[in-house]
Structure 1
Amino acid sequence: MFNYVKADLYRIFHKRSNQFYWLILAGLFLTFVIFGSGSANFADNKSELTEMYFSVAVMPLALFGPLIISPQFYYAVYLDEINSKGFIRLFSSGLRKSEYIVAKIISSLVYMFVVFAFLAFAYLSGFGILALLNNGVVFFTISQIELLLSLVAYLGLFTIAFSSLTNLITLKWQSSNIPLFLFFIISNGFIASLIGWLNRLPILRQFDFNPYLLSTNIGEIQKALTNGIFYGQQGQPSNQPPSAQEALKIIDSIGTQPFIIIGIYIIVTTILSFFILKHSDIKDN
């Protein structure tokens, strides 16, 4: 299994499209930040530069991370291999189907860790450039670093949870295009909205499924993050950067229930993936 993990990670990291994707994303971010702050004067209050740079990263990451980061993780780890028309060779080489499920989780975690480390390097490099242009600035506070790590952890949990759920369809159909579309649909709450609408029917009105849906519990974490980031400081003007310390207080109020339900989803979908793959004929796409 570990030989397959190494081969899988080699495939993922040497895929040119994956490399270009993250390089372009990091380049666009750095270009936007550096040129966007070129006309600003931070001579009087250098901490404003740190706050500005922090807010420029944390706000888009909270709003667009699930749209531009998580789907790429899912496609690179789970779908690209199926799309390469060599799925059947995995198991003809002796790899067990149960090992495949576990190996994909390991590959996903390692891939996410390396990518986030690269993005953090690009982020800090951009901050260093701005610091040099402004004769040095104060570094990030502990609260700001904790808030950024909370966002990264959320995106990792978001990716693993919805990848595990969508992977039930991927393993059954052994196709890459429809599951990627379904990843967007499911992770953006469209299925949960449909279930909520069906829940209004007289025959189902007495059953409230909403608190137990994956999208609902992921949404609670996302809501706490966005509320903390955008509205964390009471009475804060809309043009001011977020207060990381106040944002962390809102995030701490989430409680453990959403995380427990999300964990149950991940465990159950992983077990179901094993049974689906075990009882499915592997197609030579």
Structure 2
Amino acid sequence: MFNYIKADLYRIFHKRSNQFYWLILASLFLIFVTFSSANANFADNKSELTEMYFSLAVMSLALFGSLIISPQFYYAVYLDELNSKGFVRLFSSGLCKSEYIVAKIFSSLVYMIVVFAFLALVYVGGFGILALLNNGAPFFTINQVGLLFSLVAYLGLFTIAFSSLTNLIALKWQSGNIPLFLFFIISNGFIANLIRWLNQLPMIRNFDVSPYLLSTNTGTLQDALMNGTFYGQQGQLGNQPPSAQEALRTVDSIGFQPFVIIGMYIVVTTVISLFILKHSDIKDNE
């Protein structure tokens, strides 16, 4: 299994399209923040530079992380290999199907850690450049760093949970095109909204399934992280910067239930994926 993990990580990190994707994303972010601050004057209050830069990162992760970061993780780790030729050779070489499931989770974690570390270096480097252009500026507060870490952890949990759920289809079909589309549909709550609508039917309306849906619980975490991080939030002044402290306080108040339900989804879908894989004929995509 460890040999497969090493080979899998080698494949992922040496894939040119993966490298280009993150380089382009990092470049676009730096270009955007540079132009956003070009006409601003931070001479009187340099702390505004920190707040502006922090705001852009938080809002980008909160609004677009599930659309441009999580799907790439899922595709690079799981679906790219399914689309490649010779998927059957993985198991003909002696790799157990249970080892494959565990190895993919490990590969996903390592890939996410490395990518987020790269994005963090880009983020800090970009702030350093802006600080130098503005004759220095205060650095980030502990609460701001804590909120950014919380957002990163949320996206990691979000990716693993919805990857495990979508894999129920991907491993059955052994194709990466439709599952990627389904990942977008499922992770953005379209299926959950359909289930909620069906839940209004007379025969099942007495049992509310909404609190037990994966999208509901990931949405609870996302709402908590976004609380206090946007300008003009209800109860805030229109020009008040995001409050990392308030956002972290809200995260602490939601309790363990969303984490427990998300964890149960990961465990159950992983077990079902193993069952599907064990009872499916592996297709050679050549």
* TM-score over 0.5 (shorter chain): yes
Is residue 231–residue 240 contact of structure 2 (8 Å, CA) maintained in 1? no
Per-residue CA distance 1:103-162 (angstroms, 9 max, x = gap) = 000000000000000000000010000111111111100000000000000000000000
Code of the residue aligned with 1:75 in structure 2: it is Y
Cross-structure match for 1:131:
131
1:41-60 pair list within 5 angstroms: 41-60=41-60
Following TM superposition, by how much is the alpha carbon of 1:224 offset from its aligned partner in structure 2, in angstroms? Answer: 1.1
Following TM superposition, by how much is the alpha carbon of 1:233 offset from its aligned partner in structure 2, in angstroms? Answer: 7.6
Cross-structure match for 1:177:
177
Per-residue CA distance 1:179-200 (angstroms, 9 max, x = gap) = 0010001001111111111111
Code of the residue aligned with 1:239 in structure 2: it is N
Cross-structure match for 1:150:
150
Cross-structure match for 1:242:
242
- What count of residue pairs does the alignment treat as equivalent? 285
- Is 1:203 the counterpart of 2:208? The answer is no
Secondary structure in structure 2 of the residue aligned to 1:135: coil
Is residue 171–residue 277 contact of structure 1 (8 Å, CA) maintained in 2? yes
Cross-structure match for 1:91:
91
**Consecutive aligned runs of 4 or more in structure 1 exceeding 3 Å deviation:** 231-235
Is residue 162–residue 183 contact of structure 1 (8 Å, CA) maintained in 2? yes
Following TM superposition, by how much is the alpha carbon of 1:237 offset from its aligned partner in structure 2, in angstroms? Answer: 2.2
**Which structure 1 segments of 5+ residues have no match?**
none
Following TM superposition, by how much is the alpha carbon of 1:229 offset from its aligned partner in structure 2, in angstroms? Answer: 1.6
Secondary structure in structure 1 of the residue aligned to 2:227: helix
Distance 1:253 1:268, change over 3 A: same
Is residue 187–residue 215 contact of structure 2 (8 Å, CA) maintained in 1? yes
**Which structure 2 segments of 5+ residues have no match?**
none
Q: TM-score, normalised by structure 2?
A: 0.97
Cross-structure match for 2:18:
18
Distance 1:233 1:206, change over 3 A: closer
RMSD over aligned Cα atoms = 1.2
Cross-structure match for 2:63:
63
Per-residue CA distance 1:227-267 (angstroms, 9 max, x = gap) = 23227987422333201111111111111000000000000
Is residue 233–residue 243 contact of structure 1 (8 Å, CA) maintained in 2? no
Distance 1:107 1:125, change over 3 A: same
Per-residue CA distance 1:62-85 (angstroms, 9 max, x = gap) = 011000000000000000001112
1:101-116 pair list within 5 angstroms: 101-116=101-116
Cross-structure match for 1:37:
37
Moved more, 142-151 or 205-214: 205-214
- Is 1:215 the counterpart of 2:215? The answer is yes
1:250-265 pair list within 5 angstroms: 250-265=250-265
Secondary structure in structure 1 of the residue aligned to 2:242: coil
Q: TM-score, normalised by structure 1?
A: 0.98
Is residue 162–residue 187 contact of structure 1 (8 Å, CA) maintained in 2? yes
Code of the residue aligned with 1:66 in structure 2: it is S
- Is 1:267 the counterpart of 2:267? The answer is yes
CA distance in 1, matches of 2:238, 2:68: 25
CA distance in 2, matches of 1:209, 1:6: 41
Secondary structure in structure 1 of the residue aligned to 2:33: helix
CA distance in 2, matches of 1:129, 1:72: 28
CA distance in 1, matches of 2:111, 2:18: 11
Secondary structure in structure 1 of the residue aligned to 2:138: coil
- Is 1:188 the counterpart of 2:188? The answer is yes
Secondary structure in structure 1 of the residue aligned to 2:229: helix
CA distance in 2, matches of 1:53, 1:24: 19
Is residue 144–residue 244 contact of structure 1 (8 Å, CA) maintained in 2? yes
Q: Percent identity?
A: 81
Cross-structure match for 2:277:
277
Code of the residue aligned with 1:184 in structure 2: it is F
- Is 1:227 the counterpart of 2:227? The answer is yes
